């Protein structure tokens, strides 16, 4: 073999080696992105359902029921109240409603109240939703989205657990999973 032939094959070999290394990095990058995407979606789902422990006074809030009767959060002092801000057009709100209804049924005899406050819609939109899901807990109308303002959120769904003394103790941003309702709320109810 001539020394010139050896020099001509070396650059070609190097190019092929670099191409193979590049393909390996590309394959590793794609695999990492696919694995990371699965982890992120699972983490995001778990994060959205785990409450944050907070401690601040429940805001003053007076609205109306579906029937047009005036109501206020202060009417429920002495009960544990889960305030859920939602709307009929919100997919995670729809998903969590059966879970909220089941939890309400399980704990209403323990001094627990769930108040679903619809944000920005009329009774003509909300009533069919309530009937579709068989909701038995109080549903309030908030056409001006005042609750979102006083709770300082623009996210739906958002939920707040208020203890018997009127302190907000737990806060969810996003849908609520049954396992996390069962894990965190009964402790406040049993106090």
Indicate the pTM of the whole model: 0.74
Confidence of residue 166 (pLDDT cuts 50, 70, 90): very high
What are 139-160's pLDDT values in tens digits?
999 999 999 999 998 899 999 9
How many CB atoms sit inside 10 A of residue 34's CB?
Answer: 10
How does strand 139-142 pair with strand 112-119? parallel
Q: Return the closest-CA partner of residue 87 out of 45, 140, 137.
A: 140
pLDDT at site 154: 87
């Amino acid at each position: 073999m001539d020394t010139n032939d050896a020099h001509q094959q070396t650059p070609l070999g190097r190019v092929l080696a670099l191409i193979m290394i590049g393909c390996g990095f590309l394959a590793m990058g794609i695999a990492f992105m696919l694995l990371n995407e699965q982890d992120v979606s699972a983490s995001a789902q778990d994060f959205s359902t785990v409450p944050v422990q907070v401690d601040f006074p429940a805001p003053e809030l007076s609205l109306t029921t579906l029937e047009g009767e005036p109501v206020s959060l202060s009417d429920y002092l002495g009960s544990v109240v889960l305030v859920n801000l939602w709307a009929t057009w919100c997919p995670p709100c729809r998903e969590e409603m059966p879970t909220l209804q089941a939890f309400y049924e399980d704990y209403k005899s323990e001094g627990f109240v769930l108040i679903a406050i619809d944000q920005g819609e009329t009774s003509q939109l909300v009533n069919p939703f309530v009937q579709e899901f068989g909701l038995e807990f109080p549903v309030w109308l908030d056409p001006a989205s005042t609750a979102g303002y006083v709770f300082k959120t623009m996210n739906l769904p958002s939920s707040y657990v208020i203890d018997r003394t009127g302190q907000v103790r737990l806060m969810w941003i996003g849908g609520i999973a049954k396992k996390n309702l069962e894990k965190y709320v009964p402790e406040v109810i049993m106090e």
